Amino acid sequence: MQTKLHINLTQGIIDVEGDVELVKAVYEDFKDQLTGHSLSAPRPSEQQPDAPAADTGSGAAPKPKKRVTTRRKAKTSQDAHSTIDPNAPQLDKSLDTSQLAAYFDQYKVGNHPERVLIFLKFLNDELGIESPNTDQVYTCYEAVDERIPKAFSQAFRDASGRKFGYIDYNSPTEISITVVGSNFFKFDLKKKDAE
Q: Which residue has the higher pLDDT, 115 or 5?
A: 115
SS3 195: coil
For the domain covering 82-194, report its CATH number.
1.10.10
Domain ranges of the chain: 3-46, 82-194
**pLDDT at residue 17 is higher than 70:** yes
Mean pLDDT within 46-61: 51
Residue 57 and residue 6 in contact, taking contact as beta carbons nearer than 8 Å: no
Cα gap 77→79, rounded to integer Å? 6
The residues, ordered by sequence, that sit 6+ positions from 46 with a Cβ below 8 Å of its Cβ are 67
Tell me the whole-structure pTM to 2 decimals: 0.58
pLDDT tens for 54-88 read 445 555 566 666 665 555 444 444 444 458 999 99
